[in-house]
Amino acid sequence: MLNQKNYLMAIPVAGIATLNIAAPVFAANQIVVKHPYKPIELVFSIAEIEDFVQTGDTNGLPEDFFKLMAVNSETLNPEEIRNQFKRPISIDPNLPLDPKSLAKNLLNMLIPPNSPEAERKAALTLMAAKGNGQILINFLKAIPGETITPDNFLQILTTYQVPAIKPQNPGTNPIDLRTWKHEGAPERGNWLVSADGTFVRQTINDAPTFFVSPDSFINTTVNGKLQVADPIDNDFIGFVFGYQSPTAANSDAPNKFNFLLFDWKKSHNHNGVFDGGHEGFALTKVDGIFSGPNYNYIDDSFWLHQDSSKFDILATDYGLGKGWRPYQEYDFTLLYQTNRIKIDVNGQNIFDISGEFEPGRFGFYNYSQSNVRYSGFTETETLPAKPVPEPASIGGLLGFSILGFRKKQKL
């Protein structure tokens, strides 16, 4: 159930008590195929394929991937494979596939071996109808169903709806992550930004770490995507906003924290050592210096979420089924205004509270969780709604006044 401090006003949201992020139909997150020469299955993460396509880094994918994807039988050429993933799909079901086509290799992987010619023709026709014109990596990311296999590929493809092109809000600006900074203790995080500045990946499992915008903002909506490519660990991801410190440029101590924190944990821990860490969401005002022996200063607050004067929990939404899921890409929306915080995940509202909030930087947050990817973030100016004027007599009695809003700063 939603738990919120009584001095904050929660805006009612239908169904919040039964929120289950696992409910929507998920896009694919991995491909499972049989090895052509060995009695084993090969599992390829679509998130890691996308990282390879964006960055050229081959370390996240096994050598077998490049052997199966090889577009030239004489040599393994990762750069050519990468380029073909960036190209639009172009299949004519009435013509033989180009032997050097990556689409051919994918179809060979995903159509059951020794399929009758009629089935192969049907697969080609379906692939052309659903995929032609789409960038190959985007097509793979959008196919419904969590796992693509030769046994379910054609059935899944029949349910796939070609995505409509959504017009961008004319006031929406993409965020260039190349301008952002790693804040906090330098050794606690490793933030790797893509060459084009559209996504960042954090690779270290350690104490809280932050990746933060250079400028402050208020009266703004921030949208983006988040994904964890780790099937084993179950710890904290999220973001910070209204961020004041730690800021290296101000010579702040790395344990001097002042920000609002939205964090999300995959599942509860029951190992007796780090017991606790609730599954689900929390929204907290953090303001103080966190110091002490053996990480207890971190664990009591950031792990156990023990309420205190410097770790002031504003709202929580814990429960089974409310944790994040590995390899699933989530859409995040943060509305941050002088009088309101509203946070949505996959279009479902998590928190919606009122209060008085100050401008600050926006950033990403990890605690004890590696292989987290933040991508496609944008910001849109969103001014608070103007209050409806009260009659003069009532306004005079109540001492009615209108607060001035701070000027928004670009991320």
Is the pLDDT reported for residue 316 higher than 90?
yes
Higher pLDDT, 301 or 20: 301
Q: What's the pLDDT score for residue 102?
A: 63
Is the pLDDT reported for residue 304 higher than 80?
yes
Higher pLDDT, 343 or 52: 343
Tokens of 387: 């209050």
Q: What are phi and psi of 393, to 5 degrees?
A: -65, -45
- SS3 label, residue 161: coil
Crossing angle between the packed helical segments 78-85 and 46-55, to the nearest 10 degrees? 110
CA distance linking residue 58 with residue 154, whole number of Å: 29
CA atoms within 13 A on the CB side of 331: 9
Long-range contacts of residues 245-253, Cβ cutoff 8 Å, at least 24 apart: 246/183, 246/184, 246/210, 247/183, 248/181, 248/183, 253/289
Q: How do the domains of the chain map onto residue ranges?
A: 30-159, 173-398
Is the pLDDT reported for residue 26 higher than 80?
no
Among candidates 56, 98, 106, which has minimal Cα distance to 79? Answer: 56
Under a CB-based contact definition with an 8 Å cutoff, are residues 191 and 333 in contact? Answer: no
Architecture of domain 173-398: Sandwich (2.60)
- Work out whether the CA dihedral 184, 187, 192, 193 comes out positive or negative: positive
DSSP label of 387: P
Among candidates 33, 368, 81, which has minimal Cα distance to 230? Answer: 368
Determine the average pLDDT of the residues in 295-305. Answer: 73
Q: What's the pLDDT score for residue 314?
A: 96
Determine the average pLDDT of the residues in 268-297. Answer: 73
pLDDT (tens digit, 9 = 90+) per residue, 123-182? 778 777 777 777 888 888 877 777 888 888 888 888 777 665 555 566 789 999 999 999
CA distance readout (Å), 74 to 49, 62, 71, 77: 22, 19, 9, 9
CA distance linking residue 319 with residue 59, whole number of Å: 36
Is the pLDDT reported for residue 351 higher than 80?
yes
Q: What's the pLDDT score for residue 275?
A: 54
Q: What's the pLDDT score for residue 5?
A: 47
CA distance linking residue 367 with residue 314, whole number of Å: 19
Q: Does the predicted TM-score (pTM) go above 0.75? A: no
Provide the β-strand partners of residue 107: none
Q: What's the pLDDT score for residue 312?
A: 94
- SS3 label, residue 374: strand
Q: What's the pLDDT score for residue 207?
A: 87
CA distance linking residue 167 with residue 204, whole number of Å: 36
pLDDT (tens digit, 9 = 90+) per residue, 72-113? 545 567 887 888 788 777 676 666 655 556 666 676 677 766
pLDDT (tens digit, 9 = 90+) per residue, 35-48? 767 777 888 888 88
Contacts of residue 219, defined as CB under 8 A and 6 or more positions apart, other chains included, come to 336, 337, 338, 381, 382, 383, 384, 405, 406, 408
Is the pLDDT reported for residue 249 higher than 80?
yes
Query: Which of the residue ranges 56-60, 122-126, 207-211 would you say has the lowest mean pLDDT?
Result: 122-126
Confidence band of 389 (pLDDT split at 50, 70, 90): low
Confidence band of 29 (pLDDT split at 50, 70, 90): confident
What is the overall mean pLDDT for the chain? 78
Percent of the chain with pLDDT over 70: 74
Determine the average pLDDT of the residues in 374-393. Answer: 78
Q: What's the pLDDT score for residue 11?
A: 34
Determine the average pLDDT of the residues in 317-337. Answer: 92
Determine the average pLDDT of the residues in 50-57. Answer: 84
